[in-house]
Structures are given as C-alpha cells and as structure tokens.
Structure 1
Amino acid sequence: MASPLDRLPRPTPRRLLLAVLLCGVVPWSVQTFTDSSVPFLRFAWGGLSFAPVVYARTLVEYLSLSGSPLVVPWVIATGCWLLAVASAALAFVGREDPRVTAGLLVLAGAVNASVALRFGIQPLRTGYPVGTLALWAVAAWRYRDWTRA
C-alpha cells in the first residue's frame, strides 16, 4: 500500500529549506477563549492578537513581560525549529543529516503540542497545535525520503 508521502516530490536542498522555513510561518497554535470569538495565533516568532485591535508581540517581548510557564517550552520549540533550519541549510553543502533535521522538527512539534495542550487545559481556553502537524509532516517527508535512498 502506497503512502501519501510516496507521491510528494523529493526534498532537494531548496525544497527542504523552504518547507522547514514555512513551518515557522504557519501559526504554531490557534488559541481560543470561550468568552471571545477572536483567536490568538502563536507563531515561532511571537504572537498575534486580534482583540481589541490587531497586535503583534515578539517572542522576546513575551520573555521580558511574561512569567508564564508556557514561555520556556515555546522558546525550546522555537530553538529546535531554528536548529532544524540550520540543519536543512547544510544540505546545500552536502553536510545535512536527515535524521537530525527530522528529529529536530519532531521535537519542536512535540514541545509545541505540549504548549498548546497546557494552554487548553486552563479554564475557558482551548489550544489547537496546528504547527505541530506542519512540523511533523515535514519531518516525515524528510525522514521517509532518507529511508528510501
């Protein structure tokens, strides 16, 4: 039985780096509050709020302003993703280890999922780990290609 990953193009260095970079563009989690229909989007780089106005705050700002225990794992997930970007960039010079790239993406996704789930267990809140799906999909694509080579 063929996997959907078998139909994807091979991860050339350019495709690989683009896919890993795009993981940082998608919202890592969509966080909703039951008393508001307006979501909060959390990215690798920071957060985007839509209430009462559209407001962006960087991860660095969250570090300096927040005492939330969710900020530290968020930083760890972002760090894993940045290391995956660096690992993917090494493919241009033939030095990338696909297991490292895929492993870092899996770790970033797992830590991101823990942040979204920990946010979601708080009263009147829900967190959807959208970015985890993107990170794991790219990791599976990269690892699957390596195992087929």
Structure 2
Amino acid sequence: MVESEAFSTRTAAGRLLTLLVVGFLPWTIILVNGQFTFVFSFGLVNTNPFHLTNLYDYLTQFTLGLPRSLQAWPASTLLYIGALVSAATGFTGHEDERLTGGLLVFAGGAQFYLTVGLIASLGTRVFPLGMIALWTVAWWGYGPALKRIFRHDE
C-alpha cells in the first residue's frame, strides 16, 4: 500500500469512528421537574420510569399533533445517517468531504431547531450536546472542504 493510501485509509477510519461515537452520545438532554429525558439518534430514554422509545415508534405513534420542532430530531438522524454513509465511502476514495461536512452541519442545525423549540414550548432546561458534537466534527474533520464550497478560485 502506498503511504498516501495508508494515510487516506487512516483518515477515513478516524472520521468514521468519530461519527459513530457521536451517534451513541445523547444528542439532547431535557430536564423537566427533576426528571431527565435523553434524546439519542436512535430513540428517547426517560429516567422515571426508565423507558426507551425507539425512533420508529416515535415516528409512527407519537408525532401526530406535535410541534414541528420535535420533528427535527428524526430529520437530524436521517442527515446523520447520510453523513455516515458518505464518510464510509472514504474507504473507497470516493467520499465528497463537502457532502459529509454539509450533512453534519445541517444535522446540527436540526438539533438547534429542536433545542429552540423545546425551550419555547416547555420552558425547560435543554442541553444540546448533539448540536455541539455534530458541528465540532464538521469543523474538525471537514472544515477545509466546507470552506472550499464558498471559494470561487477553484
């Protein structure tokens, strides 16, 4: 294997691993009356009583009549999955870093919209870890590629 190919493979593996870690973090932590709800990419976890509502059940059973901002969570998960798939193409040398980074920026934006909506509707404490993590990975792993989107010299 050529040295640049090994570097490229290590870079792709590092980015993909980082993205996978982000997927297992709680994206939003909601504190209402001393009770925590953790919003993960795959579902909601309530602490009292302990219960997991997976994303599929949320979409098919619980979204009717909810504010639009609460529908941003599934959208951010879909954008995140797109970024994972795009990052995985880095192993074949076909990743478009602008696409991966852009999907992460938009996934973080959807989490921001969710956070603002939760604060407005519940008037509660909301901690947007997913937004911070998604935007940090976009900046750290894909910042130069994202900057190239707006430059006209290429």
Q: In which range does the TM-score fall when normalised by the shorter chain?
A: 0.7 to 0.9
2:71 matches 1:59: no
Q: Percent identity?
A: 30
**In the alignment, what sits opposite 1:93?**
92
What is the TM-score normalised by the length of structure 2? 0.81
Q: Once the 2 structures are TM-superposed, how far is the Cα of residue 129 of structure 1 from its aligned partner?
A: 1.0
Q: Once the 2 structures are TM-superposed, how far is the Cα of residue 71 of structure 1 from its aligned partner?
A: 4.1
The structure with more radius of gyration:
2
Distance, in Å, in 1 between the alignment partners of 2:132 and 2:123 is: 24
**In the alignment, what sits opposite 2:35?**
38
**In the alignment, what sits opposite 1:127?**
126
1:77-116 matches, within 5 Å, as 77-116=76-115
Q: Is the 8 A contact 1:31 1:116 kept in 2?
A: no
Cα gap change, 1:93 to 1:54, in 2 (>3 Å): same
Deviations 1:42-94 (A, max 9, x none): 0110100001x211110111112212234422111111000000000000000
Distance, in Å, in 2 between the alignment partners of 1:59 and 1:29 is: 14
Once structures 1 and 2 are overlaid, which stretch shifts more, 65-74 or 134-143?
65-74
Instruction: Report the secondary structure of 1:19's partner residue.
Output: helix
Distance, in Å, in 2 between the alignment partners of 1:32 and 1:102 is: 30
Q: Is the 8 A contact 1:41 1:48 kept in 2?
A: yes
Q: Which runs of 4+ in 1 moved over 3 A?
A: 144-147
Number of residue pairs the alignment of both structures matches: 136
Cα gap change, 1:124 to 1:144, in 2 (>3 Å): closer
**In the alignment, what sits opposite 2:14?**
15
Give the structure with the larger helix fraction.
2
Amino acid in the other structure paired with 1:60: Y
Residue segments in structure 2 that go unaligned for 5+ positions in a row: 1-7, 148-154
Residue segments in structure 1 that go unaligned for 5+ positions in a row: 1-9
